[in-house]
Each structure stands twice: as C-alpha cells, then as structure tokens.
Structure 1
Amino acid sequence: MKITIEDIPEGSEPEIILRCNEPDDALLRLIYSIKSSSKKLIGLTGMQMHVISPGDVFYFEAVDNKVFIYCREKVYESRLKLYELEADYEQGDFFRASKSTILNIAKIKSVSPILYGKFEALLQNGEKVYISRQYVPVLKKKLGL
C-alpha cells in the first residue's frame, strides 16, 4: 500500500482520497476508524455532562435498565441504549461480549478460557470482564484468529 501526504494551504479542510480496486475488510475498518475518531460520547455524572472519546472507553455495561460507560478511572451513565452503542461502534474496536456488555478490544491486556467455553478478559486497568461462549467466535474474528 502506498501512502502519500501532501501539504495543503492553511485554513483548508484535510481530505483523504482512497484509490483502490475494491475495498477489503481491513480498508473498511480503517475508514470507519477514521470516521469514528471524531465521534464523541456524552457521559453523565450527576448533573454534569462529559464529552468522552470512544478510544477512552474500556467497556459499556447495561445494569438495571441503565447503560454505563467504563473508562480507566471513572464510570459515566449513558442516555443511549446498549443496542444503539453496539450499532454505532461495532465496526471499530468494540464487540458484544455478553448480553449486557460491549467491550473495547483495544483495552484488553490478556484473554483466558474459563469454564463452559467462556473467556475472561483482563483489561489494561486491571478489571476482569467475562465473554459469554456465544460471543467467543466474535472475539476470535476481531483478533484475526
């Protein structure tokens, strides 16, 4: 793959032009990654609204009809439903890990198999998240296994 970077006049909007015969999955993931890098999440703590970059999110979890956004040190509440977050971010590094969890694969430190076909993911912040056996094939596909 050839990559060319050109200088543009100051004040001009950056532009990306892709030339290819047919975009493959890797190229489509790259395009989605570029597009979603500017997409921000809104997290709530009490009466405050926080702007969160998707790259800072470790995982989303639904508990008691509420959805929470787990970052390195803080937890925020989201107004979005889990299925909405899944639709918005599944093309990137996020995948459904269980019925109530969407996990950021980029934040996984290690993965180990546990009982009955489930996996346990150790995250970079030390938390452990379980991956249901029905979602293990999705994890393997995301990891390229």
Structure 2
Amino acid sequence: MKITIENVPEGAEPEIILRCNDPDESLLRLIYSVNSSSRKLIGMTDLQLHIINPRDVYYFEAVDHKVFIYCHEKVYESRLKLYELEMDYEHGDFFRASKSTILNIAKIKSLSPVLYGRYEALLQNGEKVYISRQYVPVLKQKLGL
C-alpha cells in the first residue's frame, strides 16, 4: 500500500483520498476509525454528564431497560439504546456478544470456551463477560479466525 502525505494551504480542510479497486474489510475499518476518532459518547452518573472516548469502553450492557457503559473503573448510564450503540460502533472493535451485551474486542485479554458453545472473555480490567454461542461466529470473524 502506498501512502502519500501532502501539505495543504493554511485554513484548508484536511482531505483523505483513497484509490483502490475493491475496499476490503481492513480498509473499511480504517475509514470507520478515522471517521469515529472524533466521536465521543455521553455517559451519566447522578446528575453529571461525562464525555467518554469509545476506546476507553470495555463493554455496553442493558439491564432493566437501561444501558450502562463499563469503562476501566467506572460505570456510566447511557441514554442510547443498545441497538443504537451497536449500529454506531459495529464497524469498529465492538460486536454483539449476547442479547444484552456489546463487547470491545480491543479490551479482551483472553478467551476460554465454556459449556454449550459459549466463550468466556477475560477483560483487561479483570472482569469476565460471556459470549453467547450464536455470537461466537461474529467474534471469530472479527478476530480473523
């Protein structure tokens, strides 16, 4: 892959031009990563709103009609529904791990198979999240297995 960087005049908006035959999955992920790098999440604790970088999120979980954002040490509530978060972040490192969980692959430390075709993901913060057997093929595809 050839990369060319050109300086633009002062005040001009930066521009990225891609020339390719057919964009593959890795190129689409790169495009999504560039587009979403400035995107932030809003999480709430009590009456405070917090701006959260999606890279800091370990997983999203729906519990009792509420959606929570789990980061390294803190948990925030989201106003978005789980399916909205899934649509917003499906092209990045996030994937649906179960009916109630969207998991960040970048935060997985290790994976272990458990009963009935499910997997257990040990996250970098020590938490364990289960991946339902119906979502294991999605995980394998995201990991390139």
TM-score, with structure 1 as normaliser: 0.96
Instruction: String of CA shifts for 1:104-139, please: whole Å, max 9, x gaps.
Output: 001111111011111000111111100011100000
Letter in 2 for 1:113: P
How many residues are treated as equivalent by the alignment?
Answer: 145
Deviations 1:79-113 (A, max 9, x none): 00000000110111000000000000011111110
* Distance in 1 (alpha carbons) for counterparts of 2:121 and 2:10: 45
CA root-mean-square deviation: 1.0
Q: Does 1:70 align with 2:63?
A: no
1:116 aligned partner: 116
How far 1:37 moved relative to its partner?
1.2
**Structure 2 partner of 1:95:** 95
Percent of counterpart pairs with the same letter?
82
Look up the equivalent residue of 1:95 and give its one-letter code. Answer: F
Q: Could you say which residue in structure 2 is the equivalent of 1:57?
A: 57
Match of 1:37 in 2: 37
Spell out structure 1 runs of 4+ moving beyond 6 A: none
Q: Compute the TM-score of the two structures, normalised by the length of structure 2.
A: 0.96
What per-residue deviation string (whole Å, max 9, x for no partner) do you get for residues 35-54 of structure 1?
A: 11111110000110011111
Moved more, 18-27 or 66-75: 18-27
After superposition, what is the alpha-carbon deviation per residue over 1:9-63, rounded to whole angstroms, capped at 9, x for unaligned?
3433221111112212211111011111111110000110011111110000000
